[in-house]
Structure 1
Amino acid sequence: MLKRVVLVFLLATSLYTAGAQGKYQWKDAASGGYTYRYVTNDPMKARFYTLKNGLTVILSVNNKEPRIQTLIGTRAGSDNDPKDHTGLAHYLEHLLFKGTQQYGSLDWAKEKPLLVQIENLYDKYNQTTDPAARKGVYRQIDSISGVAAKYAIANEYDKMMSAMGAQGTNAHTWVEETVYEEDIPSNAIDKYLTVQAERFKDPVFRLFHTELEAVYEEKNRGLDNDGRKVYEVLLASLFPTHNYGQQSTIGTVEHLKNPNLKVIRQFYNEYYVPNNMAIVMAGDFDPDYVIKTLDQKFSYMKAKPVKEYKPAPEAPIKAPIVKEVFGPDAESVDIAFRMPGALDVKSTVLLGVLSDILQNGKAGLLDLNINKQQKTLNASAGTLNWKDYSFLSLSGKAKQGQTLEEVKTLLLGQLDILKKGEFDETLVKAIVNNAKLSQLQGLENNNNRASSIMDAFIKSKGQNWQHDVAFVDAMSNVTKQQIVDFANKYLNDNYVLVYKRKGEDKNIAKVEKPTITPIEVNREAQSTFLQQVNALPATPVKPQWLDYEKDIQKVPVGNTELMYVQNKDNGLFRLYYRFDVGNWNNKKLALAAQYLQFLRTDKYTSEEISKAFYNIACNFSVSAGSENTTITISGLQENFDKAVTLFEHVIANCQPDEAALAALKGRIQKSRTDSKLNKTAIMKGVVSYAMYGAKNPFNNQLSQAELDGLTAAELTNILHELPSYKHSIIYYGPQPLADAAADIKKLHTLPASFKPAPVAAVFPKDNQDKNQVYFADYDMVQTEINWLRNTTAYDPAKTGIISLFNNYFGGGMGSIVFQTIRESKALAYSTYAIYSSPDKKGERYSEVAYVGSQADKMNDAISGMNELLNDIPRSDKLLQTAKEGMKQDIETERITNDGIIFSYLAAQRLGLNTDIRKQVYESIDKMNFDDVKKFHDENIAHKPYTYCIVASEKKISLDELKKYGAVKKLSMEEIFGY
């Protein structure tokens, strides 16, 4: 939770040497009539522009696929919230999806005076303290909001973005930033920049009271999240002065109940100015064209001085600060140390290396001394880097019979080892090699590129990008003594310790549900601006279909087949052994795969094995799925032979270890206990019960007696026998096919003939013949509701209509379900409805719908979703938007790398031998609303459903649930199978 991962450059600045200064330097260049700055030897080749009005634009070209990750960020987050209006930056983020005078409105002249009245009423509401008077003011707000909504077009922003083929429409607010995110097709640059320039010109805060309710729901969901509560208590204690700890991003309950639109507008005017904002784009585009167009679109912005948040320095922590948090979820312990901020060049690199010495997933102190030896249920370490301060955190969960105090002692013990320098100095070199591996992996992804660049802007307006690029080189210059000195300076009794204990949280004060009259969403309406954007020319992008016969090369290797795609981009490889046996064949297989990491061989201890893989920047994993098990070996091609040879030795020669198995059994039993305390796991089990019946994949677990009876020899025999089952081999890497095949044949031992797999368990989907309710009791503020209905068997001919139906009905923010449940009725923060396709020929589809609402809105939420399930509203405009979005998605999707092979394997499971996307694409223009309605009527409307509900019996009535169907309260044993 506390380690925010950006794969490429870790958001850090670096130690600088003379060599690094020469290799990584800021340079000036000019192209297309614009000057920009860049850093030499930057693998992203990022161009940093500053427009005349101060707007920062940062561009990184990557031609891998015809798409662009875009981020628009402002250096203002919850740190900048007024003390009496916390949560304001987050409110504003939501409102910037509501449109402007030009879009989102049917008639701005008529809408404007109503919005002015609403703004004034919120000002009055904010200043009114008498409860009865407040309710009266709110009734006025609700009434006038209903009238104003008649002139509003809900979700018009989302409609425009969907129509141009945007994906991942989202935004986030954090302590120092608010960032707006879109992944767009390369041919949509003009449309995208036109919309964004208008979006930030003069946003209109319409449909506020329903959006406010969505934020209330978001807050209440947080109150049900024990991890979030721990995080907030930890920050509050770590930063008693700084807004990092004193102002939560979502705001206090009291401030959420007292919003003020005038203050929100003031915040916007102060911080959403060009000299405080950046536009980042990473992907396939012409940077000269983009910067010119962007300059033209955003030249209206005017710079103005921005008041930076300048906190008073935090006083040193001189003794441990201990806190407790209570809640229904599993117990844990978190320890955090305050550290210098991300602008401290030297400290950030040292902290990054120190954190990896503590834990890197393979050979860190926590990895080897705690997790590998199973001394706790689990233990982890991580850093979070902000501008003013960073912090290092240690986290752990207790195993069976262990106290949280004992976990704390174990975690702090690793810091003592670190401070004494009792670690191998070669570990630093291995950390650098693995950082290089992460850097190569991160470059493949536009989102990683854009996120790294945006974080550099948030921290330092991009000035530290030179250090970010040099980060890995700087790590290589870190010495063991520097780490020891740094640890002794910062890691003493100056920590915050938070115990998360199981128990009732008596401090929860949820945001109460106000009375909201459903508003108009005007689905069919379109602004002139939307029509103009849609009419902008866009160069067609031709879709590319996979031809499995040509795109995948296959050669025999022994008595199996090697499937091959060459990596022409870098020196990374991924090798897979894919077995035709899984958990449904043997419930012990997943446990054996988990057990492997704790085993030695005749030559190496388990610790030596982990170190060896980490030292050569390679990894392996064994993943047991329902019907297949996959072994993955990956890393730098230069170490391919070493990695494969070592893994083959491990799988063939691992030795039974009864002590390791006993520890693993204890940890599994504790994990099982903890899972029964986790609402997400409980709901997953309830849905599986509804989908398949009492015997289902989720509770297909070893019984306690079976677990107790397992022996170390039994599990190691499963591992030794795994390569003897039928499997195919997949290679993605830089080696030519002939060389790869020869290497694999030499390194991978194949049996003369494959063993037959054990007979697999079968889990046929259940029939919903009548309405019924499955209920699980959980102590929470919210109510989680899923609808479940299984339908017909897989039919590839239905793929097109199902895709269109999902896009139109319930698959996104512009869908019918989202518009109705959230935008119109304000019943939920999160909601969707998806017709889910099976992944295997002969299996059945399922309709799955979801609403997460306050307990006192449960009946309204159920009623609202049922109306949509029974009667699908018609919106020809929304349907056209869904069709256009589908076409753009397919036209710009590029299945590459080893994804080609996994696409082929997925098609095979469905009985297909061609790329189904071609069939879907050719069907889009032929489909209309009558087709969608027919599909809805035949498969969804007026059918029996199973309602899956997780809620607190203290907040809802089981008798009340009986009106939806026969109620069965599921026990934890029925849900989990143990």
Structure 2
Amino acid sequence: MFKKKILMLFAAAVMFSAQAQDYQWKEAKSGGYTYKYVTNDPTQARFYTLKNGLTVILSPTKKDPRIQAYVATKAGSKTDPATNTGLAHYLEHMLFKGTDKYGSLDWAKEKAELDKIDALYEQYNKSNDELQRKTIYKKIDSISGVASKFAIANEYDKMMSAMGAQGTNAWTSFEETVYTDDVPASALDKYLTVQAERFRNPVLRIFHTELEAVYEEKNRSLDSDNSKVFETLFSTLFQNHNYGKQTTIGTVEHLKNPSLVEIRKYFNTYYVPNNMGIIMSGDFNPDEAIAKIDKAFAYMQNKPVQKYSFQPEVPLTTPVVKEVVGPDAESVAIGFRLPGNKDKDALLADLVGSILTNGKAGLLDLNLVKKQKLLRAGAFTYILQDHGVLWLNAAPTSGQSLEEVQALVLNEIENLKKGNFDADLLPSIVNNIKKEKIQETEKYSDRASMLQRAFNAELDWRDQVAYVNSLSKIKKEDVVAFANKYLGNNYVAVLKRKGENKNPQKIEKPAITPVETNADKQSAFVKMVNDMPNTPSQPVFLDFDKDIQKSKLGKAEVLYVPNTENQLYRLRYRYKIGSLNDLKQPLAAQYIQFLGTDKKSAEDISKEFYKIASSFNVSTGEEYTTVTIEGLQENFDQAVKLYEDLVLNAKPNEDALKALKARLAKSRKDAKANKGAILNGLTNYALYGPKNKFNNTLSDAEINALTAQELVDRMRNLNSYEQTVIYYGPESLKNLTAKLGQLHKIPANFAVAAPLKKFAQQKQTQNQVLFTDYDMVQAETRWIRNTDAYNPANTTMVSVFNNYFGGGMGSIIFQTIRESKALAYSTFGYYVQPQKKEDSYYMMSYVGSQADKFNDAVGAMNQLLTKMPELPENLVLAKTQVKKDIQTERIMQDDIIFRYLAAKQLGLKDDIRKQTYASVDKITMDDVKAFHAANLAGKPYTYALVASEKKVNMDDLKKIGEVKKISLEELFGY
């Protein structure tokens, strides 16, 4: 549940006028409550402070019948005790375990056992004798088993599922712990009842199995080279501050020696109303919502919270270079220390990040990425409360050393310091940020996210609303002065080299007896919440004939949905040619971005698009190549002309092709060092056999033989293929087709693409293990089984089964493998629906576990695949979740068109959700059992396994099935 947050200054602006607006704090009263607001705030957020100090921020919007809600605490790993690092993150996990009112069958009996466990952990924590520690842990394990008989696992998740919540989760970072749920608007009373109880008296139950899940999370971070780079950079930059002295997940030593006493002390210190906020955006009446929140959380008592204090960092006077070694591909990370987010220079820091990288016209974009001098490069500002970091990252292309990469990136810092960038880049950045802020206020979830970030970063919302206006006042000389002030020889560089980690850390597997989860039981509190009255929203189904307007542009079909909210548009040309027709087409789509015409360079074209807050992108999938052009409607003609001119007049560039080939060679090599890519390759091998979609690629020789002209010709010929024009924007359909008739010429007859290359899904006839060796602590396993051909009549059953069996924290798989047996941090199982009517379903399950738990993890999953536990209440929850998701889902904008296109591929004429909604209540446990028996139980599977050969036993693998060691060359096809 941990995620690193890139805390930036956030704002929202709707007006594109250069005229300054007035942004002021005002006070108002409504519904008996006083609140503050900022004038000209497009989120229309109300800021309340309740009598006990609790901050409540409400941003009403009625577009979707849902509410994105956060309960946020201004406490994270920065305030962890030095003797108990990782504590804030531990606590975050435990706040899903319930209180004395829910999560327990008999609190009095459970508490007696939990008190014993508390005392044993304190003994365990203080003991250094390994034999004694094992004896104590054995007692903890034994008493935990007794205590679990009185506990009910996952009651929080079940309550949230029953009310139709989505995205139930939490995260911990340096300065925040945030709990997130997206709930139906009709469930607001239930949500507030549950949250108020959740933070009243949390109980640290089922602790040692959850602790093991945190161990697993730590092991995943130990397997991540990116995590190692992050920790190395921060620990070097910040030697006096907990940003660098401590990690959010904690040290191995502290994870092995938890103190429940310290966890409760932390909760009592920081989880107080004056240090917390409730942030909500969505469909609610703010007068009613604030009264309900006040009543629910009035029990919380204000307590003083001591601010974190720290010693200033010693200025860096010379560069510090560190090295990290691991199996992933090489890269360079460079960090400059900046002031915190309250400093007057924080605004400039954000702008500097955009000048270096904005995806189109930044210094790194134009000078390094566009010219293909590196495999990739980027920059961003990571601004926290006490300090900030300008973070630059880059990866080498073929034949390039990390030192050369570092020099190229630092040269762009020198260009920044010398002012070697266009003066009109600043207004272009402002114009693009204005467009982004419009997009951020369109969705209730984005609004809530912006407000939550500002709350936890302790930023003044007035400054955030005025952000674009303030940004527009910055001059080039201000940027140059900032760069020269902060960006000298005072950086830390982390060189990530490829190699074997000689000092691997790992948390050893403790002896854990599976605990009871009582998954079929229910507390009185949960029943009370479930019985609370509410009026659910009525579902809104798509009518493809009414919700999409259709027209013709020559022989091309035009699919149109109007934008009635703002002046943004998205235009797409969807061509019926993809990688399954022509393996060179994806490369042509990449190549075009590096080309100019006889009148404009590639850099000129990028700058022109960026100036008008527009962009274009060409991407090739298996069957379609899609061109996307988006921006402000007032610049529609200009943006489309820019793209059309580039495609018609693109000039072959041999140097650009040579650089692209070098980058391709390096990215292909890097993919072989990425465990995620390897696991995906094994999955495709399991689905389709040795020749599959994953390794359907050009050979090295074929890439080397490519010519610039043939790639340019492919882009010029793209418009000759059958195509669909997709538009979402404010222009009328009549005006749109008239404009495109002049700008986008459709051929009289469409060319016929080469036949699609077919890959048939392989039927599993016996158990098989596909194994690839990788230097890692964990073992990652997927179970793959192809089943029957697509049948729309199965859609409801598949949705219910996935929710019940393996699709979330309340599912059978999660409760058994993680909650009861503590075998994995991440585990799931899905019956995957095909995207085309001629394809088949397949089952995919997953466990990521410590290598020494591999046998147990495989056994646990196999047991569930063989015999499915029957939990009637869980089935009710699964069906409820499916139904409530449909009730509150509102498909809008161009998503309507893509739902229509997806339905067509499945041979559907109508919105399949209508059928699901009508039939979901009819699903019985016998139906689910029959589905499990027909498709999963007693069937052969292909196991896709990525692990270290040194850590898993080959003889154990052979007991599962025939073992095939798959080389990287077989897997990737090159």
TM-score (norm 2): 0.98
Query: How far is the alpha carbon of 1:558 from its aligned partner?
Result: 1.1
**Selected match of 1:518 from 501, 514, 533:** 514
Q: Does 1:565 find its partner at 2:551?
A: no
Gaps of 5+ in 1: none
For 1:332-731, list aligned pairs within 5 A.
332-344=331-343, 346-460=344-458, 464-731=460-727
| Aligned equivalents of 1:745, 1:813: Cα separation in 2 | 52
Superimposed CA distance per residue, residues 231-279 of structure 1 (whole angstroms, 9 cap, x where no aligned partner): 0000000101100001100000000000000000000000000000000
Superimposed CA distance per residue, residues 912-961 of structure 1 (whole angstroms, 9 cap, x where no aligned partner): 00000000011111111100000000011100000010000011122220
| Aligned equivalents of 2:5, 2:628: Cα separation in 1 | 25
CA RMSD for the aligned pairs?
1.4
- Describe the shift of the 1:106–1:93 C-alpha distance in structure 2 as closer, same or farther (beyond 3 A): same
Amino acid at match of 1:184: V
Query: How far is the alpha carbon of 1:312 from its aligned partner?
Result: 1.4
CA contact (8 A) 2:223 2:777 kept: yes
Query: How far is the alpha carbon of 1:4 from its aligned partner?
Result: 4.6
Equivalent residue, structure 2, for 1:914: 910
| Aligned equivalents of 1:676, 1:357: Cα separation in 2 | 33
**Selected match of 1:817 from 803, 813, 820:** 813
Equivalent residue, structure 2, for 1:10: 10
CA contact (8 A) 1:3 1:384 kept: no
Q: Does 1:241 find its partner at 2:240?
A: yes
Equivalent residue, structure 2, for 1:833: 829
Task: Report the secondary structure of 1:827's partner residue.
Answer: coil
CA contact (8 A) 1:6 1:452 kept: no
Equivalent residue, structure 1, for 2:960: 964
Moved more, 647-656 or 228-237: 647-656
Equivalent residue, structure 1, for 2:106: 107
Task: Report the secondary structure of 2:446's partner residue.
Answer: helix
Task: Report the secondary structure of 2:28's partner residue.
Answer: strand
| Aligned equivalents of 1:975, 1:578: Cα separation in 2 | 30
Amino acid at match of 1:928: T
Task: Report the secondary structure of 1:723's partner residue.
Answer: helix
Q: Does 1:305 find its partner at 2:301?
A: no
CA contact (8 A) 1:2 1:383 kept: no
Query: How far is the alpha carbon of 1:691 from its aligned partner?
Result: 0.5
Query: How far is the alpha carbon of 1:508 from its aligned partner?
Result: 2.4
**Selected match of 1:781 from 777, 780, 793:** 777
**Selected match of 1:881 from 855, 877, 882:** 877
Amino acid at match of 2:144: S
Amino acid at match of 2:448: A
CA contact (8 A) 2:3 2:172 kept: no
Amino acid at match of 2:488: N
Query: How far is the alpha carbon of 1:557 from its aligned partner?
Result: 1.2
- Describe the shift of the 1:11–1:859 C-alpha distance in structure 2 as closer, same or farther (beyond 3 A): farther
Amino acid at match of 1:121: L
| Aligned equivalents of 2:793, 2:329: Cα separation in 1 | 46
Task: Report the secondary structure of 2:725's partner residue.
Answer: strand
Task: Report the secondary structure of 1:517's partner residue.
Answer: coil
For 1:182-193, list aligned pairs within 5 A.
182-193=181-192
Superimposed CA distance per residue, residues 401-444 of structure 1 (whole angstroms, 9 cap, x where no aligned partner): 11000000000000111101111110000000000011011112
Amino acid at match of 2:376: N
Query: How far is the alpha carbon of 1:446 from its aligned partner?
Result: 2.4
Query: How far is the alpha carbon of 1:6 from its aligned partner?
Result: 7.4
Query: How far is the alpha carbon of 1:449 from its aligned partner?
Result: 1.3
| Aligned equivalents of 1:920, 1:256: Cα separation in 2 | 45
Superimposed CA distance per residue, residues 308-332 of structure 1 (whole angstroms, 9 cap, x where no aligned partner): 1111111211111111111011011
Q: Does 1:863 find its partner at 2:859?
A: yes
| Aligned equivalents of 1:10, 1:693: Cα separation in 2 | 48
CA contact (8 A) 2:12 2:43 kept: no
Moved more, 264-273 or 750-759: 750-759
| Aligned equivalents of 2:275, 2:733: Cα separation in 1 | 51
| Aligned equivalents of 2:615, 2:546: Cα separation in 1 | 30
Equivalent residue, structure 2, for 1:223: 222
| Aligned equivalents of 1:235, 1:802: Cα separation in 2 | 45
Amino acid at match of 1:614: Y
| Aligned equivalents of 1:306, 1:246: Cα separation in 2 | 22
Query: How far is the alpha carbon of 1:122 from its aligned partner?
Result: 0.6
Equivalent residue, structure 2, for 1:203: 202
Amino acid at match of 1:260: S
CA contact (8 A) 1:341 1:348 kept: yes
Task: Report the secondary structure of 2:457's partner residue.
Answer: helix
Query: How far is the alpha carbon of 1:507 from its aligned partner?
Result: 2.9
Task: Report the secondary structure of 1:23's partner residue.
Answer: coil
Amino acid at match of 1:759: P
| Aligned equivalents of 2:449, 2:549: Cα separation in 1 | 35
CA contact (8 A) 2:10 2:454 kept: no
| Aligned equivalents of 1:966, 1:456: Cα separation in 2 | 55
Amino acid at match of 1:919: Q
Superimposed CA distance per residue, residues 540-594 of structure 1 (whole angstroms, 9 cap, x where no aligned partner): 2100010000000001111111111000111100001111111000001111100
Query: How far is the alpha carbon of 1:3 from its aligned partner?
Result: 8.8
| Aligned equivalents of 1:960, 1:826: Cα separation in 2 | 21
Task: Report the secondary structure of 1:322's partner residue.
Answer: strand
Task: Report the secondary structure of 2:345's partner residue.
Answer: helix
**Selected match of 1:933 from 904, 929, 942:** 929
Query: How far is the alpha carbon of 1:10 from its aligned partner?
Result: 3.1
Amino acid at match of 2:330: E
Equivalent residue, structure 2, for 1:285: 284
CA contact (8 A) 1:6 1:448 kept: no
- Describe the shift of the 1:916–1:286 C-alpha distance in structure 2 as closer, same or farther (beyond 3 A): same
Q: Does 1:64 find its partner at 2:60?
A: no
Query: How far is the alpha carbon of 1:2 from its aligned partner?
Result: 11
For 1:89-104, list aligned pairs within 5 A.
89-104=88-103
Superimposed CA distance per residue, residues 472-505 of structure 1 (whole angstroms, 9 cap, x where no aligned partner): 1111100000000000000000001101011222
Task: Report the secondary structure of 1:38's partner residue.
Answer: strand
CA contact (8 A) 1:332 1:398 kept: yes
| Aligned equivalents of 2:513, 2:720: Cα separation in 1 | 64
CA contact (8 A) 2:97 2:153 kept: yes
Query: How far is the alpha carbon of 1:716 from its aligned partner?
Result: 0.5
Query: How far is the alpha carbon of 1:12 from its aligned partner?
Result: 11
Superimposed CA distance per residue, residues 838-872 of structure 1 (whole angstroms, 9 cap, x where no aligned partner): 00011000000000000000000000000000100
Query: How far is the alpha carbon of 1:767 from its aligned partner?
Result: 1.0
| Aligned equivalents of 2:449, 2:552: Cα separation in 1 | 42
Equivalent residue, structure 2, for 1:45: 44
Superimposed CA distance per residue, residues 598-634 of structure 1 (whole angstroms, 9 cap, x where no aligned partner): 1111221100000000000001111100011111100
Query: How far is the alpha carbon of 1:306 from its aligned partner?
Result: 0.4
Q: Does 1:253 find its partner at 2:252?
A: yes
CA contact (8 A) 1:2 1:382 kept: no
Moved more, 823-832 or 443-452: 443-452
Runs of 4+ in 1 over 6 A off after TM superposition: none
| Aligned equivalents of 2:614, 2:11: Cα separation in 1 | 23
Query: How far is the alpha carbon of 1:884 from its aligned partner?
Result: 1.0
| Aligned equivalents of 1:160, 1:276: Cα separation in 2 | 26
| Aligned equivalents of 2:392, 2:537: Cα separation in 1 | 48
Amino acid at match of 2:367: N
| Aligned equivalents of 1:67, 1:710: Cα separation in 2 | 51
Equivalent residue, structure 1, for 2:78: 79
Task: Report the secondary structure of 1:324's partner residue.
Answer: strand
